[in-house]
Each structure stands twice: as structure tokens, then as C-alpha cells.
Copies of this chain bind each other. A is one copy, B any other.
Amino acid sequence: MDWEMIEQRLLSLLERGKHSELRGALMMLNEVDVARFMETLDKEKLLLTFRILPKDISADVFAYMSAEQKQTLIESIGDNEIRSLIEDMFLDDTVDFLEELPANVVKRVLQNTSESKRNLINQFLRYPDNSAGSLMTIEYMELKRGLNVQEAMSVIRKTGLDKETIYTLYVIDQARHLIGSIALRSLIMADDSVLIDTLMNTNIISVKTLDDQEKVAETVREYDLMTIPVVDNENRLVGIITADDVMDVIEEENTEDFEKMAALTPAEDEYLKMTPFQLAKNRLPWLLLLATVAIFTGMIITNYEDVLNKTAMGIVLTACIPMLMDTGGNCGAQASTLMIRGIALGEIEFKDIGRVLWKEVRVGLIVGAVLFMFTFARVYFINKASIPVCFIVSIALFCTVLMAKSLGCILPLTAKRLGFDPALMASPLITTIVDMTSLIVYFSIATSVLGV
């Protein structure tokens, strides 16, 4: 049964007022799919469906709904309902949700939250965006050192139900310092009387609350972790981050890189949810900056007016400018993309710059030589140009390729070194810089060969 059919059946049950049957049908679905179904409903139906949902999944379903639907729902339900919803939700989901709401709605939600939870929420809201602290949840399973396996299992059975995961357990000392981690698997395989201190792994991979989410994602991916503990500056355990949240971080970071590399200010929301004005606002700054830089390109051309207007083959030289610029841009994009990606994945560092540059120079020589021959033949046979003109265009292209490849590796690595985001040094900027330098090379060669 495909999704459309499922959706139709649910909708038909809802419309015909078959509440018990709808409840039964919804219980058969994954929370993600229930939220997906509720996405399409109007306010009244949304509220009705939410109230029909089995109590034990409603908080989970709520966490998967879109910001708009969450807000609609919060504005429709009573204070008691808000209170029990917030109590049932994991803290990280609550914080995410509050961050998306307008201030007046946040206020109403916080008024209906127990004091202890409210204090926690406020503390979480203070962590900077994209920090480990803002990603973590406090519903982790901790064990005090000195317990034996039987005691530990009984703690888990008693308190494990409300934890986000119980598969990695964290051992803390009296002062709440994180001193070890245990996989639930080893507890289950061990004898009841064994002390957990002897089972725990003391070589803990952790992150700090203020660490950037990029670092969190890199660490989790490198060490193949399911969960990573978050500690404060005194190595006290304050939270955990789970692999599912890390996957979202990875995609978010990649989207940001894609956007920056295409001369876009990273967006806050999904494309379809943004207005044309918001979209234009994210695009104009770079376009204006690059158009300003292009003024110099224009000046270079004006400067060499004589070569273009007063030689017999001037028009051929003009006709080859787009090809020269596009190829330069493409070569620069190829090199810079490989650098930016290599830096993001931790495969290339600034200290490799010598090796990388030497490699790019050799690649540039190969690529440049092939394009030299291609272009020479093209200008000779198609544009019917003289040998000197063929030579000017081809050798300028060869130099452009070499420059584009070199800049394409130097700029992102240098940006990284200076603490800037390497993704900003992507093709649009490199294209513009290569444009200018290649035109200067082009016209200098033309001037000296043609003796203008």
C-alpha cells in the first residue's frame, strides 16, 4: 500500500467521524508517518487527530511535526494539554521547538511548564546555535561507580523508560565527573556480581558543551559512535548527543557548504517555505560584490581597446573571451571544490599546501596541454585565424588553466588557515579573480605577439 492510499484511508476515517478506527489505524504507523499525515490537515482536523492519538506517542508525533503545525496546535490546545505534552517530550525536542516559536507562544508554553523543567529549558536556550550544548539531550542513563551488574540492571529497569537511549551507559563519580562508559551489551553478557567499574571503558570520546556541531559530527562519524557524551569544562557529564541528530547536522552542514559555494547566504528555512524577498535577500549581497569586482574586468578590456579594435583579427580575440573565462572558471571550480570537500572531511590540511600545489600544477600542465591543442585546432579551423592568433588564444588558455588550478587550491587552504570558511573561496570568487588575471595575460601576450 503506498502512502497516498494510506493517507486517503486515514482522511476518510477522520471525515466520517470514525474516531476509534482512526486511532487504531494511526497506532499501526510510525510516528514520522503520523506527523506526515497531520501535516496536510487544517486546524480543526489537526486538533481532533492530535486528541485521538494514543497518549504515549503524541509527544513523539508532535516532535516530528513542522514548525507551522506545531504552532497551530499549541495555539489551539488548553494549558493542561500543553503541560502534559511538554512533560512527555524529550528536552532536546522541546528546546528545538521553542526556538522556532514566536515569543508570545514561547511565553505561554513556559508558563505551563514545571519550574525545574523551565529552568533546564532556559539553560539550554542560552547555548549558542550550532553548539554541542544546543544539540544535546539530558535524558541519558548514568550509573554511579561501584555498582555491580545486578544493581545496574535494576537501576536501568527502574529509570530507563524515560531515557533517549539506554544502550550506552555513563559511569560518573561522586562529583559527577564522567569516568567511563559501558555498552548495555557488556552488562547483559556479564555475571550479576561483576562490578561495573571493571566493565567500563575509560578511554572516553566526548565533546564539550561549546564545541561546534561540525566537530561533534566529525567525531561521531570518525569513531562510528551511536551516542557521544557532552561534558562541561570540569569534565562533568551534562548531556548526550545521539547519532540520529548527528545525521541531521551532517546534512545541515553540507547544505550550508553547497549554499556558500554557490554565492548564497545560507538560508534559515526550506526553499519552498521562503518568500521571494527572503530568497532575493540571500542572493543579492554576493551578486553585488562580484558585479563590483567585475568592474575591473571591464577596465582591463577597455584598456586594451587597441588590440581588439585596430587589429585585423581583433574580433576573433573578442570571440574567444567567453571560452577563456568559462574554462578558467570551470578549472578553478574543480580544484576549489576538491579542496573544500577535502578540508570538510578532514582529508586535507593547511600543512599539505605544498604537496597539493605541486599536484595541481602537474594536473594543470596535463589539462592545459590538452586544452591548448583543442583550442589551437578550433581557432585555426573554425575561426580561420592566423597562426599567431591561434597561438595567443591557446597559450593564454594554458596559462589560465594553470592559474585557476593553483588559485583553486591556495585560496581555500589559506582561508581555512586564517580562520575563514573555505567554502566562501569557491567558484564564484575564483571565477572572478581568474577572469581578471587571465584577461591581463591574454592581452599582454596579444600585445607583444601582434606588436600593437
Interface on A for B, CB 8 Å cutoff? 28-30, 32, 153, 156-157, 160-161, 166-167, 184-185, 188-189, 202-203, 205, 220-226, 243-244, 246-248, 250-251, 254-255, 257-259, 261-264, 267, 270-272, 276-277, 279-280, 283-284, 286-288, 290-291, 294-295, 297-299, 301-302, 305, 308-309, 314-316, 318-323, 325-327, 329-331, 333-334, 336-342, 345, 347-348, 352, 355-356, 359, 362-363, 365-367, 370-371, 374-375, 378, 382-383, 427-428, 431-432, 435, 439
Contact = CB atoms under 8 A, between A and B. Distances in A.
A327 to B, nearest CB: 6
How many copies of the chain does the oligomer comprise? 2
A187 to B, nearest CB: 10
A24 B212 CA distance: 33
Given A221-B248, A243-B247, A367 B427 contact: no
B262 A333 contact: yes
B247 A342 contact: no
Contact of A283 (B356, B359, B363): B363
Contact of A367 (B161, B283, B320, B336): B283
A201 to B, nearest CB: 9
Given A298-B319, A322-B321, A427-B262, A255 B287 contact: no
Contacts of A334: 262-264, 283, 287
A290 B32 contact: no
Given A161-B189, A255-B345, A337-B258, A295 B323 contact: yes
Given A161-B189, A189-B157, A297-B322, A244 B272 contact: no
B367 A329 contact: no
Nearest to A310: B309
A271 B309 contact: no
Interface secondary structure of A, over-half rule: helix
B283 A297 contact: no
A309 B203 CA distance: 74
Contacts of A336: 262
Contacts of A297: 319, 322-323, 326
Contact of A291 (B205, B362, B375): B375
A166 B153 contact: no
Nearest to A227: B226
Contacts of A331: 283, 287
A439 B350 CA distance: 41
B323 A362 contact: no
13 contacts: A32-B222, A166-B185, A226-B244, A243-B243, A250-B251, A258-B258, A262-B427, A263-B330, A277-B366, A287-B331, A294-B326, A295-B382, A301-B321
Contacts of A264: 334, 337-338
Nearest to A244: B224
Given A283-B367, A315-B309, A363-B283, A345 B251 contact: yes
A188 B167 contact: no
A350 to B, nearest CB: 13
A276 B362 contact: yes
- Most chain B CB within a 10 A radius of its CB, from A254, A262, A263, A315: A262
A337 B370 CA distance: 30
